[in-house]
Amino acid sequence: MDIDTVKELREETGISIMACKKALEESGGDKDKARAILRKESDNAAIKKTERQTHAGVIEAYVHANKKVGVLVELRSETDFVSRNPGFSSLAHDIAMHIAASTPESVEELLTQPFIKDMDITIHAKIKEAIQKFGEKIEIARFERFTL
């Protein structure tokens, strides 16, 4: 397996180089199988962190281009170190944009919806990927959707 494949998987997932390398080794160099391995590891990482408390985070605002739909979402993490990361802010923005497009009624419903930027995964799976990437518990505390 070459380093370029490891780098590509790292860039696509945001997960550490060592985890990407290990997944590619386990999959025999198959990137799709490696992604599946990384998803399973994301599940395991999320389970291990369920009891942790989230004391930091961001409130992200999204207003649709037509200025008739807006969303505020509170995305929480364990530390300010993670919540100040640009990738964390990007996740919060993507979730806010998803809420604007999909009109969930609750956080529980939101978590089960297919993610608008990648319909192959749910919002819950996207959160689990972030937990693996950042190494902390991440959760959507609440959101509000406004329409005109």
Give the architecture (CATH level 2) of 3-48. Answer: Orthogonal Bundle (1.10)
Dump pLDDT digits (tens) for 99-143: 999 999 999 999 999 999 999 999 999 998 898 888 899 999 999
Q: What is the pTM of this model?
A: 0.70
Q: How far is CA 74 from CA 57, 61, 115, 120, 147, in A?
A: 7, 9, 17, 24, 18
Residues of the chain with CATH 3.30.479.20: 56-147
Residues of the chain with CATH 1.10.8.10: 3-48
Q: How far is CA 46 from CA 119, 127, 137, in A?
A: 21, 9, 7
Dump pLDDT digits (tens) for 47-66: 565 666 778 999 999 999 99
Domain boundaries 56-147, CATH class? alpha beta
Read off the pLDDT of each residue in 30-51 and give the average, rounded to a whole number: 71
